[in-house]
Amino acid sequence: MLDDKITSETFWEGVWENNPVFVMLLGMCPVLAVTNSTINALAMGLATLFVLLSSSLLVSLIRNWIPKQTRIAIYIIIIATFVTVVDYVIQAISLDLYNALGAFIQLIVANCMILGRAEAYASKVPPVKSLVNALGMGVGFTIALLCLGSVREILGSGTLLGFDLFGEHYQQWVVMILPPGGFFVLGGWLLLFEWLRQRKEQEES
């Protein structure tokens, strides 16, 4: 299954077939926590994408060199290093953004999607292939965060990317930007994707 050929499936797997959020249900902590506005979701998605790309590349490059027994520890060190880099870079780019994302930047270290990709994929395939797959996964993750973030922002604040959509008489559905709203919206999207999948399967059979 894991040969060295790069196909379009290498990329699209992460976006659709094995979307880290909607199919594999990985990395739920940032998915639920920072998706209360579109811009936070986008920033978190891009930060995760960067960490995923760089750690996948590095893990793939040194995959034949690290002893099996210490591999997880090494993956964690690599991931933590890139997360710390992202942490400082975001602080340098914008303090406002940094304050908005709060502790969740540091928590990318514990995002099981990244460790999962390192262990299950990057450590078994050559660098370019692992990079393409990581890009797909990261894009899939970012899209999923945006799906949640935009719906929650529209319902909960009546805005999208900060622009007022419904005028001042809109009664905000505040629960949507609170933690329960994260579960509601995630459940809604999961239902939708499952329904789409079943319909596709029925059409095929």
CB closer to other proteins, 134 vs 177: 177
To other proteins, the closest distance from the beta carbon of 195 in angstroms equals 29
CB atoms within 10 A of CB 155: 18
Cβ proximity to other proteins: between 147 and 155 the closer is 155
Q: Which is nearer to other proteins, 40 or 133 (CB)?
A: 40
Q: How far is the CB of 44 from other proteins (least distance, A)?
A: 12
Shortest Cβ distance from residue 37 to other proteins (Å)?
6
Residue 70 Cβ vs other proteins, minimum distance, rounded to whole Å: 5
- Summarize as ranges the residues that interact with other proteins (CB under 8 A): 34, 36-37, 40, 65-70, 73-74, 77-78, 80-81, 84-85, 88-89, 91-92, 94-95, 99-100, 102-103, 153, 156-157, 174, 177-178
Nearer to other proteins, 8 or 99 (CB): 99
